[in-house]
Structure 1
Amino acid sequence: MKITANKGAKGLALVLMVTALASCGLPRSGPNKKEIFAGSVLKQGDAFIVTVNSRVTRATSVVPALGFGSDFRNASVMGSDTISPGDTVALTVFENVKDDPLLGNTGQRVSALEEVQVDGAGYIFVPYAGRIKAAGNTPEGLRRLITRKLDSQTPDPQVTVQRVAGNGATVSVSGMVGGQGVYPIERPTRTLTAMLAQAGGSAIEPSVAIVRVTRGGKTGQIWLEDLYANPSLDIALRAGDRIVVERDTRAFVAMGATGSQNRVPFETQSLSAIEAIAQVGGLNTSLADPTGVFVFRNEPAEIANAVLGRSDLTGDQRMVYVLDLTQPTGMFEARDFLVRDGDTVYVTEAPFVQWQKTISAVTGTAGAASSLSSVGSSD
């Protein structure tokens, strides 16, 4: 009878220990499904909890739209020989006289001015021709101007003009490129892709590279992949353009029963929920509950209204999207649902995991108590 009583007491003690451990809270990666659903607006919480389906996927499929405005797209390619302030030109004058040339010494019929700088106002100075407007002209146009100026002073002058690329028509290329620097706009480098190639190309994967161009007070940006794929996006450059190649800064946070918990950068222009899970090593097979995959997001009012079939919401709304990967279409929904910048992807633990932790804690506690009891008895 005494043995039975002892067994009953031990059983009661075990139940009490399990209950106590369960109530005090064992270590875990975050809230369970019940706790998340308890925060629903329907239960006086502050978040809308929505099961993902094809309609929700369509309403939330928002990808950053990058591109260049009409000011960039409509600019024509610069004439490769157009002279700009800061350029250098080389002049050669042939005079049809032997004894007393205008520009050279006696007997010297050819005079060369190899480096003539175009000043900030766009002018150059040519001896006996004076100050001449060079900027905006082609070498041929400038040749005719100089010829007219000299024609009245020396018989039948023959003039050649060559534009040497200088500081006038240049762009700066910086960021994640092979070679940062200031590059002249020349015949081979009059468009964006050509200039990027001149600068050594992108130093990062094209799938995560964004190209930003600033012209005056306006800025446009585009995915490098789109630039390569669509020749119509290859804009013409202008003097003073600032080109920056940078990595996409979008990221999401992975938490819970996933392969890893971290802030994870996007690796592609668009990222589905299934791809996001794959990026962090998939679901932890010993912990994860595939019916409890959640995406937490602050959703703009217009999208929240579309998702919920309402029109009265204003301001950002807390939304929790639920994916059940065990459903027949669950994997398809996860494949189509897009993760966005700033999202938190959270996977709950399976219910039995908490029970296992409780049992482990109980058996560990009981074992420790037994050891202490043995030590006490031996004393």
Structure 2
Amino acid sequence: MLAAVALLASCGLPRSGPNKNEIFAGSVLREGDAFVLIVDDRVNRIASVSPALGFSATFNNAGVLGSDTIQPGDILGLTVWENVDDGLLVPTGQPATVLNEVQVDGSGFIFVPYAGRIRAAGNTPEGLRQIITSKLEDQTPAPQVQVRRLAGDGSTVSVSGGVGAQGVYPIERPTRTLSSMLAQAGGVVIPPEIAQVTVVRGNTTGTIWYEDLYDNPQGDIALRAGDRIMVKEDSRTFTALGATGAQNRIPFETKSISAIEALATVGGLLSAVADPTGVFVFRNEPAEIANQLLDRTDLIGTQRVVYILDLTRPNGMFMARDFAVRDGDTIYVTEAPFVQFNKVVAAATGSLNAATAATDIAGN
């Protein structure tokens, strides 16, 4: 019986993955190239740092556009009154002349007869009115000019992704900031907890959590003509393996998730087989974090780190609750030692019973 147990133990019995000793063998102190660390308060403070989303100074320092600022592509309406019978622009017998649909060209200029080529972009209608009046009054007495900003494609943004109504929208008085423009586009239709908002402005890109637009008003940036806004669902995932309720690749359901929450998401530990002293998190850490964890300065490049969560230790559950899972992490729970022993005994017993039955048949 003992010989059979020893033989079976040396063979590869079915199991969910490596045991603790095999994982420890992968440490840099033994045969491998991974750093194995027990999670405590210090490790939690360093390892739980995750990349933050937010906008750069290029976005944050941009002031809100004036609601009536003229942009290239805008269409203007001009009306000119002249206090003479035979005016420059006003037809005989008419009180005024109307110039409809005067488009601001790509360089920001318009052409007005007798006033010439005038820069309109960057001016308000009132400012442009004063410029046109000044140029005409040298040729006709006391001209009266009215400038109206009618429409145009110069001050528009595109909104796409997980919103109620994708499309191109003008920047108007109520929609000069990111949150108000998203509301104009029908709001976010994916779960707000995992919604990310990306803004592309020229060669600069910034991303923020949708909820942070309201938790942090600084993130509600002023929009600029040509901005591209995209709302998408968080794509981060972690993988759960071993003695857990489910072995799968799991998407994040909130902005942050702890090790305890991650285990709960997959059904927790299997009480019949799991070893609560052997909860491991496998992660590739950047050199900056790895050097802090190990109190070193010589590590270069991404480092393999294995974090150990022992739920049976004093405050072990608190450590796991405070340990933040990151994108790409693998959470692995080992089987309890007696589970493998039971498998060996069960296999040995079954083998001996089969051998006895075969002997009885042969004897008969």
TM-score by length of 1: 0.86
> Quick one: distance in 2 between partners of 1:279 and 1:84?
51
Partner of 2:337: 351
Partner of 1:80: 67
> Quick one: distance in 1 between partners of 2:293 and 2:223?
43
TM-score by length of 2: 0.89
Correspondence 1:248 to 2:234: yes
Correspondence 1:27 to 2:31: no
Greater shift in the superposed pair: 303-312 or 79-88: 303-312
| Secondary structure at 2:211 match in 1 | helix
TM-superposed CA distance for 1:150, in Å, is 3.7
> Quick one: distance in 2 between partners of 1:50 and 1:369?
47
> Quick one: distance in 2 between partners of 1:44 and 1:370?
43
| Secondary structure at 2:97 match in 1 | strand
Gaps of 5+ in 2: none
Partner of 2:33: 46
Partner of 2:217: 231
Partner of 2:152: 166
Partner of 1:307: 293
| Secondary structure at 1:342 match in 2 | coil
Correspondence 1:290 to 2:290: no
Q: Give, as a single letter, the amino acid of the residue that structure 1 aligns with 2:46.
A: A
Partner of 2:250: 264
> Quick one: distance in 1 between partners of 2:161 and 2:115?
45
> Quick one: distance in 1 between partners of 2:358 and 2:112?
105
Kept in 1, the 8 Å contact 2:80–2:90? The answer is no
| Secondary structure at 2:152 match in 1 | coil
| Secondary structure at 1:112 match in 2 | strand
Deviations along 1:194-242, one digit per CA (max 9) or x if unpaired, are: 1121222223222222222222322222222212112122211122222
The residue correspondences of 1:1-379 to structure 2 (distance < 5 A) are 12=1, 15-96=2-83, 102-103=88-89, 105-152=91-138, 154-362=140-348, 365=351
> What's the C-alpha RMSD, in Å, of the aligned pairs?
2.6
Greater shift in the superposed pair: 77-86 or 276-285: 276-285
Taking a change above 3 Å as real, the CA distance of residues 148 and 274 of structure 1, as seen in their structure-2 partners, is: same
TM-superposed CA distance for 1:333, in Å, is 0.5
Kept in 2, the 8 Å contact 1:210–1:221? The answer is yes
Kept in 1, the 8 Å contact 2:81–2:90? The answer is no
Deviations along 1:260-315, one digit per CA (max 9) or x if unpaired, are: 11122222232211111112121122221111100112223332232233344333
Kept in 2, the 8 Å contact 1:165–1:186? The answer is no
TM-superposed CA distance for 1:322, in Å, is 0.8
Kept in 2, the 8 Å contact 1:101–1:109? The answer is no
Deviations along 1:5-34, one digit per CA (max 9) or x if unpaired, are: xxxxxxx4xx44444433222221100112
Greater shift in the superposed pair: 45-54 or 119-128: 119-128
**% identical equivalent positions:** 68
Gaps of 5+ in 1: 1-11
Taking a change above 3 Å as real, the CA distance of residues 110 and 372 of structure 1, as seen in their structure-2 partners, is: farther
> Quick one: distance in 2 between partners of 1:243 and 1:321?
38
Greater share of residues in helix: 1
Taking a change above 3 Å as real, the CA distance of residues 131 and 47 of structure 1, as seen in their structure-2 partners, is: closer
Kept in 2, the 8 Å contact 1:177–1:200? The answer is yes
How many residues align structurally?
A: 364
